[in-house]
Amino acid sequence: MRTTFWAAFLVGAMTVGGPLACAQNKQPSAPRFQVTSSDLAVTYTTESAKITPSTSGDFWLQGGSLDAAATFFHNFGVAMNVTGDHASNIAPGVNLNEIAFMIGPRYTRRLPSKRESRVFVEALAGGVRGFGSIFPLPTGTDSKASSFAFQAGGGLDIAITKHLALRAIEADYVRSYLPNNGTNTQDHLRLAFGVTYHTQKH
């Protein structure tokens, strides 16, 4: 009887202890989606634009942007961009101010260089607010208007130090839908140049 008891006890201990030992030896797996790198850029921006697509009078908006991005998985991540622009005398006595906020996916690729320069492509969507101008409406005009907007493009960051990079160029196609007494669409080419602060998790 005593022999049977000890045999059962040993079998039970081995049955319970085996999985516990394996659980202790097994290391917790890293989460699949975690921030592997991040970027914060401050840039000067300029945008080529027209009052309406059918007019020949081009003008350039001048301003700046704040651009932030985080990479999560296999070089894919999310980016956010806030841009403010201004143009004077787009028509006699008419100015234009715009603020755009957009967010969306970004793919970033590190280049083979000593300090890991990077190239990226993105597609962002959000909205734009125009103000301090004249926007034609069915019932008259208004000094401000808002619309959906999106942008698609990419850029190149050339590393200077471990954390600091030069945004040598960023080029984006930007489309918005502010009222303009025509097609109510705007197609802009936005160029940006500035500096980027980069962090990398190895």
Residue 118 pairs in a beta bridge with: 110, 157
The residue ranges of every structural domain in the chain are 37-200
Per-residue tokens: 41: 């850029």
Q: What is the pLDDT of residue 4?
A: 45
In CATH terms, is domain 37-200 a member of 1.10.357.10? no
The residue among 175, 201, 186, 190 whose CA lies nearest residue 67 is 190
DSSP string, 43-88: EEEEEEEESSTT---EEEEEEEEEEEEEEEETTEEEEEEEEEEEEE
Beta-carbon contacts of 68 under 8 Å, excluding residues fewer than 6 positions away, are 38, 39, 40, 41, 79, 80, 81
**H or E stretch covering 162:** none
pLDDT means per 10 residues, the chain with 202 residues, are 44 45 48 82 95 74 97 94 96 93 96 84 98 92 96 97 95 96 91 96 72
The pLDDT, as a whole number, for residue 145 is 96
Backbone phi and psi for residue 26, each to the nearest 5 degrees, phi listed first? -75, 125
What SS3 class is residue 16? helix
